């Protein structure tokens, strides 16, 4: 997910309903039984997070994951294919990722570097030196700066390490032959970010193995920086970084699109999806942002195929890529399928972490169809209520793939998340690991997605259009 979940609802005058009634459709009963009692969602997540691991856009790991997901959907019986959207500069973190203090004592740090940034050529040791703030100070420190790891006076942001020095000062410090720059995070979370674009002269171009910025910028936990600085007050400190960042040729990027074809209106559809890419900083497995959402989409398809569902409309499960770089995969998807937008009843996007599906924010005219859809799920999971949050305008600005559909007035939902989860502890950090994923929540989420998608696919009409949308996407902003 590209922005922090500071709040889930933005509309004024919202009301909340919790519809709950047992399922009467025999197929819905089968779907709920399969999802609740025979779930494979954690099997999918285990493979995504542990066997594949962090899946940054442009990485071989993501390419491997795309082929794996294609095979899973195909094995289920879906009509599945890959849709290319761009070739992205290849980048991979090697297995060697070490950051530590080696003198006057040894201490290992938690750290990250941004994706598509330079690593070290083997282990690089150097003295820790506080960054100069003026050209005059830098010139006086020239001998100290050679081969040194420069401790920056300002912290790394959610966007990763960024040098804010004036160009003249930065260029001079670089010319002294420093080993690299070290930043502190704002707390004990180390966030990863990155872009595959950079500015060369007046042009913004893709980074390449033969042409990319050579700066080495490392972010360590604030507590690790505090430790370095405490020791520097007593005696010289030596740091060592061994960061194996690999530059690769451009790698094709794909969305994975899997259909359960509709029996009566196959050109109309309900979409269930989540993004498959993740950040891949050291320690992160991309489990909850968004291995969980990808696993829910996979499990949705498995449940429907296992119960031999025959929806009237097509149910399409999509794993988008390039989400973390600005919804690139889903934006490409809506452009490639622009003629289908008016035939989409709903898009259900799961990108809020490991919580259960706690509801949908929607307008009043959507309530009848959505109430029918979520009621059986609430009856099956009474301790994990799935609410309908009614607003006077359709307004969800979560920065995820549903936004790409909102500009076309498609009813696109970012599933609200329930549960006792501190998502900020996980989001884009070294803590995005499967140990923080909650199986019972994901079982409910996948069952909900399958049941709601099937109910909407069989409804008499499409959901009403979301003409009253307040989001950057709807206002034409990218």
Summarised one tens digit per residue, pLDDT across range 276-322 is: 999 999 999 999 999 999 999 999 999 999 999 999 999 999 999 99
8 A C-beta contact, residue 429 and residue 281: yes
Average pLDDT over residues 90-106: 97
Number of domains in the chain: 2
Shared domain for 379 and 268, answered yes or no, is: yes
User: Would you state the structure tokens that stand for residue 327, as one six-digit string?
Assistant: 């919804």
For residue 25, is pLDDT > 90? Answer: yes
For residue 40, is pLDDT > 90? Answer: yes
**pTM for this entry:** 0.94
pLDDT confidence bin for 61, thresholds 50/70/90: very high
In angstroms, the Cα distances linking 368 to 17, 196, 304, 371 are 11, 45, 23, 5
Shared domain for 28 and 157, answered yes or no, is: no
pLDDT digits (tens, 9 = 90+) for 150-189: 999 988 877 778 788 889 999 999 999 999 999 999 999 9
The pLDDT of residue 394 is 63
Backbone phi, psi, residue 303, to 5°: -60, -45
8 A C-beta contact, residue 193 and residue 160: yes
Query: Which residues, other chains included, contact 457 with Cβ-Cβ below 8 Å and sequence gap of 6+?
Result: 262, 269, 270, 311, 312, 313, 314, 315, 345
Of the ranges 12-21, 272-281, 318-327, 366-375, which one carries the lowest mean pLDDT score? 12-21
SS3 112: strand
Shared domain for 389 and 342, answered yes or no, is: yes
User: Would you state the structure tokens that stand for residue 91, as one six-digit string?
Assistant: 């980048």
pLDDT digits (tens, 9 = 90+) for 194-245: 999 999 989 999 999 999 999 999 999 999 999 999 999 899 999 999 999 9
The pLDDT of residue 364 is 92
Burial of 46 (0-12, 13-18, 19+ CB in 10 A): middle
For residue 356, is pLDDT > 70? Answer: yes
Residue 432 Cα to chain centre, angstroms: 10
Residue 472 lies in a domain: no
For residue 473, is pLDDT > 50? Answer: no
Shared domain for 266 and 171, answered yes or no, is: no
The pLDDT of residue 426 is 96
For residue 129, is pLDDT > 50? Answer: yes
Q: What CATH number should be reported for the domain holding residue 156?
A: 3.50.30.30
Average pLDDT, the chain: 93
The pLDDT of residue 10 is 36
Shared domain for 408 and 425, answered yes or no, is: yes
Range of the domain at 170: 92-246
The pLDDT of residue 237 is 98
The pLDDT of residue 323 is 98
Shared domain for 80 and 98, answered yes or no, is: no
Burial 76-106 (b: 16+ CB within 10 A, else e): bebebebbebbebbbbbbeeebebbbeeeee
Average pLDDT over residues 446-467: 95
**β-pairing verdict for 111-112 and 217-220:** antiparallel
Shared domain for 356 and 403, answered yes or no, is: yes
**Inter-axis angle of helices 60-76 and 292-306, to 10 degrees?**
20
Q: What CATH number should be reported for the domain holding residue 51?
A: 3.40.630.10
The pLDDT of residue 23 is 77
Rounded Cα distance between 289 and 5, Å, is 12
């Amino acid at each position: 997910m590209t922005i922090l979940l500071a709040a889930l609802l933005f509309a004024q005058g919202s009301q909340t309903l919790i519809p709950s009634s047992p399922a009467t459709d025999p197929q819905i009963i089968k779907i709920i039984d399969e999802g609740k009692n025979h779930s494979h969602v954690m099997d999918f997540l285990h493979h995504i997070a542990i066997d594949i691991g962090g899946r940054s856009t442009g990485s071989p790991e993501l390419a491997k994951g795309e082929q794996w997901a294609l095979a899973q959907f195909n094995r289920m019986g879906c009509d599945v294919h890959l849709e290319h959207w761009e070739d992205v500069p290849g980048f991979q973190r090697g297995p060697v990722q070490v950051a530590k203090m080696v003198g006057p004592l040894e201490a290992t740090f938690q750290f990250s570097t941004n994706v598509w940034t330079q690593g070290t050529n083997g282990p690089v040791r150097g003295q820790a030196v506080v960054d100069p703030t003026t050209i005059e100070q830098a010139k006086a420190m020239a001998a100290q700066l050679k081969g040194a790891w420069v401790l920056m006076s300002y912290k790394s942001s959610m966007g990763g390490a960024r040098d804010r020095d004036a160009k003249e000062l930065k260029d001079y410090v670089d010319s002294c032959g420093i080993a690299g720059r070290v930043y502190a995070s704002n707390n004990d979370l180390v966030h990863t970010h990155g872009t595959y674009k950079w500015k060369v002269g007046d042009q913004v171009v893709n980074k390449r193995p033969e042409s990319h910025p050579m700066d080495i910028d490392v972010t360590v936990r604030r507590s690790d920086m505090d430790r370095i600085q405490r020791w520097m007050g007593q005696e010289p400190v030596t740091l060592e970084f061994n960061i194996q960042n690999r530059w690769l040729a451009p790698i094709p990027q794909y969305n994975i699109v899997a259909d359960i074809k509709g029996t009566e209106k196959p050109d109309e559809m309900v979409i269930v999806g989540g993004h498959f890419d993740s950040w891949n900083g050291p320690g992160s497995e991309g489990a909850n942002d968004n291995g969980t959402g990808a696993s829910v989409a996979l499990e949705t398809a498995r449940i429907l195929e296992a119960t031999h569902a025959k929806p009237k409309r097509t149910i399409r499960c999509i794993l988008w890529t390039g989400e973390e770089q600005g919804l690139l995969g889903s934006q490409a998807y809506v452009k490639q399928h622009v003629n289908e937008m008016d035939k989409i009843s709903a898009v259900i996007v799961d990108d809020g972490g490991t919580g259960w599906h706690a509801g949908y924010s929607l307008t009043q005219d959507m309530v009848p169809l959505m109430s029918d859809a979520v009621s059986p799920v609430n009856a099956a999971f009474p301790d994990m209520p799935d609410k309908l949050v009614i607003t006077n305008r359709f307004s969800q600005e979560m920065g995820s793939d549903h936004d790409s559909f909102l500009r076309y007035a498609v009813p696109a939902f970012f599933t609200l998340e329930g549960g006792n989860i501190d998502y900020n502890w996980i989001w884009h950090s070294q803590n995005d690991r499967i140990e923080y994923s909650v199986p019972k929540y994901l079982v409910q989420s996948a069952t909900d997605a399958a049941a709601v998608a099937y109910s909407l696919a069989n409804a008499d009409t499409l959901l009403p259009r979301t003409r009253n949308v307040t989001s950057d996407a709807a206002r034409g902003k990218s």
